[in-house]
Structure formats: structure tokens, C-alpha cells
Amino acid sequence: MPNTAVTRFAPSPTGHLHVGGARTALFNWALARRAGGRFLLRVEDTDRARSSEEASRGILEDLAWLGIDWDEGPVWQGAEAKLGGDPRGVGPFFQSQRLAQYEAVWDQMLDADLAYPAFETPEDLEARRREARHAKQAFRYHRAAGFDRARALDRMREEPHVLRFRMPEEPIHVVDVVLGEIAFSEELLDDFIVRKRDGFPTYHFAVVVDDERMGVTHVLRGQEHLNNTPRHVALQRALGFRKPVYLHVPLIFNPDGSKMSKRDKDKAAREALRETLAGGADALRSELEGALGRERLEHWLRDKRSQLEPEELGGLATRLGLELPSIEVEDFRRAGILPEVLCNFIALLGWNPGIKESDGRDLERFDREFLSSHFDPVRIGKSNARFDREKLEAFNQDAIAGMPTEQFVEHWYDWCLRYDPDALAALGDDERRSRFVAAMQIRSKTLADPTRRNGPGAFALLADDQLEFDTAAVEKILRRGDPNGLERLRELEGILRGLPRFEPETIEAAVRSYCEERGVGLGKAAQPLRVALAGRAVSPPLGDTLAILGRDTALRRIDRCLERFS
């Protein structure tokens, strides 16, 4: 590890932060923290068609929620911290605000004949690509022999053009901490664009200039950027820039071996909709054609690369009763994963601390502080990582079970305020809410579980007339036996109605006393009550179940059950 390091995370603001991007940010943060250096955040927003301020804010919020704090970058004022700033004067940190710096370098490159204007239209280039494909050759753009530089410089004052970097005719060697030394043949490298027709820089150009200006010492990013690196190295050499240390981390794949992508959401929704429409859901098809347009809907159904807007996709998933796969940080937050658990889990995707537990197993559970003091990039693997959602939920369940109840209540309140405020309203006062959440803690893998439809806490969030009864439980528990469950409910109703205090301890004591007097097991009373109150034979402890509902609601549900099934 170096004595100091400046690392950066530079997302494009085209949507919420992908979990792979979160891992890249986490590794850069950890590398800088262990080296006593600086971690900066830079927003690469020069793709004006796809970038948005809303997406930029979303990415900042995602990182702040994860606890990945940046020393330099856009200022973020959250509930608990203020992040970012420009103490070294290397900003601004949005590329769209750095055009003056890029223009100075373009002028330098033109003066030194390191770049030249090119005037082909997109149609011209596509025709040349077709010719290359027909000749079974790779398309490679290079300045043609006999190029008239003076004429080109004169034309660029009047004609639309791009600027291209004059790539040297030599192999480029890249030394990578993770992958070792890699040679890229000059036959694979062409004169790439550094300034687009709209006057904005390309990714390849801006990233090199910004890394130099911001003093970035280490570039840690996903292996999908490996083939970009020789272009960056060639540009650094031509401009006399320092070459940072490169570290390319493995990609993240789904358990089935497919790349974990935002398109996974569209894939899941597309397959579900195709299946639904195959069953003759004409009304749904008409509804979607009205919302999306017939041609657009059909194109999306046919083309696996096509994507709906996030709001459209979310609405479709709701309409289908479909839970889309979690891909972005916001998805995992909505699903009720704790931020410290998500950081722990993604740190293990392609890296491990190389430390054993006392029982000989690899150490897997650790916090951000541990990561910041133990992160060694030498331990990054070369193989692609598999994202195991079941393991993530197991991590989350263990974390929930191990935290103080007060802390779980606080986390759940925050989650509900953001995603399910109706649940808080349905539970009424703070005492009932706290009792409900405490009862749910040991039954929850995620913060979303207590309020999940058909989850362990659903009974407390439904109106009485919305409660559905499990047919098998009704037959087995309420209608069988002598006396049967319905008869016991009538007796228990009177006991519950007369209790001086409707609290878990008082309720459970009264039910136990009832069973002892009649010489029957506790289940003979508890199970009929659970069916009447929750619609099924599974619920939190009986005293908690009744106290969460409150006396009035509990008695109404018992009466409703008796009236319906007697």
C-alpha cells in the first residue's frame, strides 16, 4: 500500500447507482482510507442526452446512505453529515462544468498535431463499418495517407466535425495490480474521438484530463473498462501526464452466470407480461397500449435490449404483482437491506481479507471500519463474482436478530417513513407500533418483511373486512374437536372482554389459566384465537398478537369469525 493515495469514483448520472458501481466506490474509499489518502467523487455528465440532475442527486444519496463518504466532490448535506467540498481547488466535480479546461487541452493537442478534425457523418462511418464487416475485417479508423492538415484546420471553422486523437503506431502495455501486464496490439487501437460534434468531451478524453488535474494516483474500476485503458495510457503519454496505478476488479454476475445488469428488471417484467398476455389478458394489453403506445409495447416485448423508463417498469410490476430483481442500491434499500450489511456483502464480491475465524472458516462478517483498515488490493481476485441474494438476506437476518430492539425499531421507522407510511398510520399510536416491530424482529430477514403482503405482520395492517381466512386452518382448528375451536372462541371472548389491562402478560396469563382449568394444552386456545385474529394458524406470540391489535379490534375479529363460520 502507498503512504498516500488519491482515488476517485466517477459515475455517469443516468439512474440510481448500480450495485457494481457501489462496490467500485467502496473499494476506492477503502483503498484511500487505509492509505491515509483522499477519496473524491466526480460526476461524468457529458452525455447530455442521458444525464440528469435527478440521477446525480440519487447517486449522491445512495453513497451517503451506504456510509461511503467522499472527501472531495459535490457537496451533500444529509441528515447526519455534510460531505464533499473542494479543499485542494481541483474542482468543479461535474464534467459539464469543466469545458474551459478541456478546451485548453484540445488547443494544445491541435497545435502539437496530436489531434485532428474529422468530418465524416455517422452515416459515412456506418458505411465504412459495413465494408469492414463484408471484408471480414475489424473496423479501425486512422487518418488517411495524404491528409491535408492545413485544409482540415481551415474546414473545421465552418463544418461540423469531431476531434480525433492520433494514436501512435505501437503496442501499448498496461500493468494492472489485479491482472498483471497486458499487451494491446496497435492493430486493435484506432484514432478515437476526444471531442464530439456537440463540443463536449468523450469519456476517454475527459477521464484522462480530470485524473491528471485532480491528482488521482490509483484508478480502480470494473474489468469492463480494461479495453479502454490502452487508449488512456496512450493519451497520458502524449500529453506528458502521470500514469496512475490501475486496478481492474472482476465483474458481478447473477447465480446463473449472466451479467448482473439493470436490464434484468426489464427481462423479468417482459417474461411475466408475455406469460400473462398468452393467457388472453386483452384488457391488460389495451391498458398498456394506451399507456405506452402499441408500437413501443410490441418493440419492448420483442427486443431484449429495449428498456422501459423506471417509473413505467415499476408501474407494470405493480400491475402484474411482480417483485423485480434488486439491481441498484435503491432497490436493496427499498427491499429492506441494511446499509452496513450491503457494504459488507459487496466487499466480498471479488475480495476477501484473508483472515480466519477461530473455527477455521474465512472471516466474512465485518464493518466499514474493519474494511478501511484491512483493505489490500492484492487480495482482489481475477474471477467474476456471483451475487447470491439468499446469502445477502442471511447476512441481513443475522444483523437484524443481533441488534438491540430499540435500534431495529429506529431502522424500521425510517424505512416506513420512506417506503410505507401507510403502515405506520394503520398501526396507530407509538406504543402499538413499538410492540408490533419488537414482535416482528425475530421473524424478519429485512426491514420490509413486517409489512410485506402475506408476511408475519400483515394481520395487523389490514382492515377487519380485508382479512382472509386460510380454509385448511378453519376446517382443522375451528370446526374439528369436541368442543371445537369456535366454541372455545366464544368462551375466550368473554374472558378477553373482561380483562382489566389488555397487555401481553395479562392476556397470556388469562389464556393459560383458561387452559389449566379445562385440562387442555395451550394450543387448544391459542390456535383458534390466531385463526380468528390473523386468518391463519401462524402469528407472533399470542399476547403480542392481541395487544398489537388492541381490545376493540381483537373482539371485532373474533365476533366476525364466529358469525362467518358458526
For 202, the 3-state DSSP assignment is coil
DSSP 41-76: E-B----TTT--HHHHHHHHHHHHHHT---SBEEEE
pLDDT values of the chain reduced to their tens digit, one per residue, 566 residues: 455 899 999 999 887 899 999 999 999 999 999 999 999 999 999 877 677 788 889 999 999 999 999 999 999 987 767 899 999 999 999 999 999 999 999 999 999 999 999 999 999 999 988 998 898 888 888 887 778 999 999 999 999 999 999 999 899 999 999 999 999 998 889 999 999 999 999 999 999 999 999 999 999 999 999 999 999 999 999 999 999 999 999 999 999 999 999 899 999 999 999 999 998 888 999 999 999 999 999 999 999 989 998 889 989 998 898 999 999 999 999 999 999 999 999 999 999 999 988 888 999 999 999 999 999 999 999 999 999 999 999 999 999 999 999 999 999 999 999 999 999 988 888 888 889 999 999 999 999 999 988 788 999 999 999 999 999 999 999 999 889 999 999 999 999 999 999 999 999 999 999 999 999 999 999 999 999 999 999 899 999 999 999 999 999 999 999 999 98
CA 395 – CA 403 distance, rounded (Å): 13
pLDDT for residue 47: 78
Eight-state DSSP code of residue 360 = S
Residues 6+ apart with CB under 8 A from 216: 6, 7, 8, 40, 210, 244
CA 157 from centre of chain: 46
* Count of CA atoms in the C-beta half-sphere (13 A) of 391: 12
**φ and ψ of 116, to 5 deg:** -150, 155
pLDDT for residue 3: 58
Q: Which amino acid is at 50?
A: R
**φ and ψ of 250, to 5 deg:** -65, 160
Could you tell me whether strands 252-253 and 180-184 are parallel, antiparallel, or unpaired per DSSP bridges? unpaired
Residues 6+ apart with CB under 8 A from 549: 459, 460, 533, 557
* Count of CA atoms in the C-beta half-sphere (13 A) of 65: 26
Could you tell me whether strands 245-249 and 218-222 are parallel, antiparallel, or unpaired per DSSP bridges? parallel
Q: Which amino acid is at 403?
A: M
Closest C-alpha to 503, from 454, 538, 444, 546: 546
Q: Which amino acid is at 89?
A: G
CA 409 – CA 249 distance, rounded (Å): 37
Q: Residue 453 in contact with residue 340, Cβ under 8 Å?
A: no
257: number of Cβ within 10 Å = 8
CA 549 – CA 457 distance, rounded (Å): 11
For 555, the grid coordinates are 373482539
Between helices 282-292 and 294-302, what is the axis angle to 10°? 110
CA 270 – CA 258 distance, rounded (Å): 17
Eight-state DSSP code of residue 452 = S
Closest C-alpha to 19, from 265, 274, 361, 208: 265
Q: Residue 139 in contact with residue 132, Cβ under 8 Å?
A: yes
User: Residue ranges of the alpha helices (H) in 135-202?
Assistant: 149-155
For 57, the grid coordinates are 442527486
pLDDT for residue 188: 82
**φ and ψ of 104, to 5 deg:** -65, -40
For 450, the grid coordinates are 413486517
pLDDT for residue 118: 94
CA 71 – CA 85 distance, rounded (Å): 7
Residues 6+ apart with CB under 8 A from 292: 300, 308, 312
Nearest-Å Rg of the Cα atoms of the chain is: 31
pLDDT for residue 358: 86
For 288, the grid coordinates are 398498456
CA 284 – CA 302 distance, rounded (Å): 18
Residues 6+ apart with CB under 8 A from 126: none
Q: Which amino acid is at 45?
A: D
pLDDT for residue 419: 94
Side by side, which strands form the sheet with 162-165?
115-118, 162-165, 193-195
pLDDT for residue 355: 93
CA 104 – CA 47 distance, rounded (Å): 20
Q: How far is CA 486 from CA 495, 510, 524, 540, in A?
A: 15, 18, 11, 21
Q: Give all strands (DSSP E) within 288-388, no chain letters.
A: 385-386
Closest C-alpha to 532, from 499, 554, 501: 554
Could you tell me whether strands 73-77 and 162-165 are parallel, antiparallel, or unpaired per DSSP bridges? unpaired
CA 166 – CA 192 distance, rounded (Å): 8
Closest C-alpha to 9, from 56, 70, 89: 70
CA 204 – CA 201 distance, rounded (Å): 8
Which strand (E) or helix (H) includes residue 38?
A: strand 38-41
* Count of CA atoms in the C-beta half-sphere (13 A) of 201: 24
